[in-house]
Chains A and B, each alone.
Chain A
Amino acid sequence: MLQIRGLRASAGEKEILRGIDLTVHAGEVHAVMGPNGSGKSTLAQVLAGHPAYEVTAGEVLYQGQDLLAMDPEERAQAGLFLAFQYPVEIPGISNAYFLRAAYNEIRKARGLEEVDSMDFLDLLEEKLRLVEWGPEIMGRAVNSGFSGGEKKRNEILQMAVLEPRLAILDETDSGLDIDALRIVANGVNALRRPDNATIVVTHYQRLLNFIIPDRVHVLSGGRIVKSGGKELAFELEERGYEWLEDPVGAVS
């Protein structure tokens, strides 16, 4: 599904990713962990095509395609989804309008017919249940005035509607209380299928009690310094990150 080889990326003058290698197969859940400033959020954003980062070396193959040559919208249309760490507020358009626009753009790109608002509401009903929400949320402006937890839940709702092949969750657990965490995790688990994959970027092991990863990678100083099975997450919880840190030093 995803092969990352020797990926390096910078923000302005500063190199943040310093040679990432990672392979994710369909049906897998990978956790990318690491201390603040290790580059894990940058990795997530680079994969989605965030314009603030410049890729300086390496390649990323997504379903055999050159991901880095694709525009952000093309990546999304090809089934990649990033759940933002800080979802953007868009006052002025409703959640329903925005999500239907996205849904239809993706359908259009795949040569499918667009759905009208009535059909879309039917589809939404089931997805809303997944995140334990009523329909009221769809009438509110996108993330506008949402609490931190609501924003994260909204990301999962978008993910449920857009049904990505590869979902990247960027610190979706940060700032969530235990109930919100459970709802988010249930949403993610319900969407797991043999033909899709998930990358969970997180600082804490807590989320991984709910979303069981197949592989855990530890990022430090812009490199993967250790990979292992799910037990690695527990070890990190106990011992912290210091014993693994890249001697070159973390990027702040």
Chain B
Amino acid sequence: MTGAFLQEFEAREETATLGASEWLEPIRRTAMERFARLGFPSTRDEEWRFTPVTPIAQQTWSPVTSSTDITREELLPFIFGHAEWTTLVFVNGVYARPLSSIGVLERGLRVGNLADALRTDRRVLQPHLARYASVETNPFTALSTAFLSDGGFVHVPADTSATQPIHLVFVTTRESAGSVIHPRNLVIMDRSSRASVIESYVTLSTGSPYWTNAVTEVVTGPNSWLEHTRIQRESERSYHIGATYVNQHRDSHYRSFSMAMGGALARHNLHVRLDGENVETLLYGLYLTRGSQLVDNHTAIFHDHPNCRSWEVYKGVLDGRSRAVFNGKVFVRPEAQKTDAKQTNRNLLLSDTAKVDTKPQLEIFADDVKCTHGATVGRLDDLALFYARSRGIAAAEAQRLLTYAFAAEVIEEVTLEPVRTELERLVRERLGSL
């Protein structure tokens, strides 16, 4: 229902709640117009071929109106790592200062919510915000930019290493029923900086569906290093559409881990532009689906310059009647010689009724490159099962153990130990006791 969004957009302008960022208005308006023109995608659109968004498109979504008080105790199941970490909590899309904790920050390091940063950090933020997120092709991103209001803001200044990880927690509550939330994050890594950022999308809602429409923009300056983890644990009755846009300057290292286990319908687009020479991009992902979930991961890696390396491994464990979609694009421009790109997607089916659509897509226009891809869909290895059973491990337990091993193999790629431990815990929890 695109009309409702237009109405809401105009109403929002009249109340003029966002006076501080006039420069953003034309960007918002362009995005709104773009969304109105594009509308919700249909399965005739190649990008959405296997992922019908009708449950989202057919409903009228309102902004969250009633405020919510939640306690730290209610949040505990979603908080991990150390007390010294900076944890920013957003409840139904709105920054919750009392629930957040900001650790000791290095000089010049800015961590806060975007709504405040729009007022206080405009000079840093303006060159980047809404610059990488493509409103042209993705209607959901257009909608995000049109309604951009709050989310996480991280700016790591040059030659600075953020020693403590930064955790952005987006939690929805009962009050989110029937509402859309547009979390919007911006991570700016200046030259030779280093940081670890985690985004968590979690819920306390057990009732009627809500919809999270999240967009994150990341820019990694020359020679910077960023580990970026995304944990999507939305309600299995709700919808999650996420898009992450990364722009990497020369000599930078970006490593992403994307965990998707929630949502009735969940989609994540991860677009990385290698916008300089000697860039390294590592994309890891894990999706765990069950019931009638549909989880879709679309990644796109743009090799625009020579001597860059991208390495991608996404794994999926599917149970029940669930479906997963993986689409991995790698574009290598003619000038991007000596590109080294490898993409792997491996799927483990635990039931006869689970289904996966996997599609690697390499478009290579340079001749001196090394690009490979591979996709597999299979079941647990009989021989490995026998091996575990021959050691005394009962059949059901052996299956769980090997399923866990399949998932844990990609989790090992996360460098931050507490994140690894949390991801492993989530897998174990999903698989039942181990």
Residue numbers of A with Cβ under 8 A of B are: 48-52, 71-73, 75-77, 81-82, 84, 87-88, 90-93, 98-99, 101-102, 105-106, 109, 141-142, 158, 162
Tell me the bound Cα distance from A142 to B405 in angstroms.
10
Which of A91, A93, A162 is the one whose CB lies under 8 Å from B392? Answer: A162
Tell me the bound Cα distance from A158 to B409 in angstroms.
22
Which residues in A have their C-beta under 8 angstroms from that of B404? Answer: 92-93
Cβ B386 vs Cβ A50 within 8 A: yes
Cβ A76 vs Cβ B391 within 8 A: yes
A-B contact pairs, 6 of them (CB 8 A): A51-B382, A73-B395, A88-B383, A88-B387, A92-B408, A158-B391
Smallest CB-CB separation from A78: which chain B residue?
A: B392
Smallest CB-CB separation from A89: which chain B residue?
A: B384
Enumerate B373-428 residues with CB–CB distance to A below 8 Å.
Answer: 381-384, 386-395, 397-398, 401-402, 404-409, 412
Q: A101-B397, A105-B391 are in contact. List 13 more A-B contacts (CB 8 A).
A: A49-B390, A71-B394, A72-B386, A73-B398, A76-B392, A82-B390, A84-B387, A84-B390, A92-B408, A93-B401, A93-B408, A98-B388, A141-B409
Which of B383, B387, B409 is the one whose CB lies under 8 Å from A91? Answer: B409
Cβ B395 vs Cβ A87 within 8 A: no
Which residues in A have their C-beta under 8 angstroms from that of B412? Answer: 92
Which residues in A have their C-beta under 8 angstroms from that of B386? Answer: 49-51, 72
Tell me the bound Cα distance from A101 to B409 in angstroms.
18
Which residues in B have their C-beta under 8 angstroms from that of A90? Answer: 384, 387-388, 402, 405
A-B complex: 8 closest residue pairs judged by Cβ atoms: A92-B405, A92-B409, A76-B392, A102-B391, A72-B389, A88-B387, A106-B392, A92-B408
Tell me the bound Cα distance from A215 to B383 in angstroms.
31
Residue numbers of B with Cβ under 8 A of A are: 381-384, 386-395, 397-398, 401-402, 404-409, 412, 434
Tell me the bound Cα distance from A82 to B387 in angstroms.
9
Cβ A91 vs Cβ B389 within 8 A: no
Tell me the bound Cα distance from A177 to B383 in angstroms.
27
Cβ A88 vs Cβ B384 within 8 A: yes
> Within the complex, what minimum Cβ distance (angstroms) separates B161 from chain A?
27
Tell me the bound Cα distance from A43 to B384 in angstroms.
19
Tell me the bound Cα distance from A236 to B2 in angstroms.
85
Tell me the bound Cα distance from A14 to B193 in angstroms.
65
> Within the complex, what minimum Cβ distance (angstroms) separates B403 from chain A?
9
Which residues in A have their C-beta under 8 angstroms from that of B409? Answer: 91-92, 141
Which residues in A have their C-beta under 8 angstroms from that of B384? Answer: 88, 90
Cβ B390 vs Cβ A48 within 8 A: yes
Which residues in A have their C-beta under 8 angstroms from that of B391? Answer: 76, 98-99, 102, 105, 158, 162
Which of B389, B397, B407, B434 is the one whose CB lies under 8 Å from A76? Answer: B389
With A92-B405, A92-B406, A92-B407 in contact, is A105–B392 under 8 Å at CB?
yes
With A90-B402, A93-B405, A98-B401 in contact, is A77–B390 under 8 Å at CB?
no
Which residues in B have their C-beta under 8 angstroms from that of A51? Answer: 382, 386
Which residues in A have their C-beta under 8 angstroms from that of B407? Answer: 92
Which residues in B have their C-beta under 8 angstroms from that of A50? Answer: 386
Tell me the bound Cα distance from A91 to B393 in angstroms.
17
> Within the complex, what minimum Cβ distance (angstroms) separates B196 from chain A?
23
With a 10 A CB-CB cut-off, give which of B381, B383, B387, B402 has the most chain A CB atoms.
B387
Which residues in A have their C-beta under 8 angstroms from that of B406? Answer: 92
Tell me the bound Cα distance from A92 to B409 in angstroms.
4
Smallest CB-CB separation from A80: which chain B residue?
A: B390
With A92-B408, A93-B405 in contact, is A73–B382 under 8 Å at CB?
no
Tell me the bound Cα distance from A141 to B384 in angstroms.
13
> Within the complex, what minimum Cβ distance (angstroms) separates B327 from chain A?
25
Tell me the bound Cα distance from A91 to B409 in angstroms.
6
Tell me the bound Cα distance from A99 to B381 in angstroms.
19
Tell me the bound Cα distance from A101 to B433 in angstroms.
12
Tell me the bound Cα distance from A145 to B401 in angstroms.
19
> Within the complex, what minimum Cβ distance (angstroms) separates A141 from chain B?
8
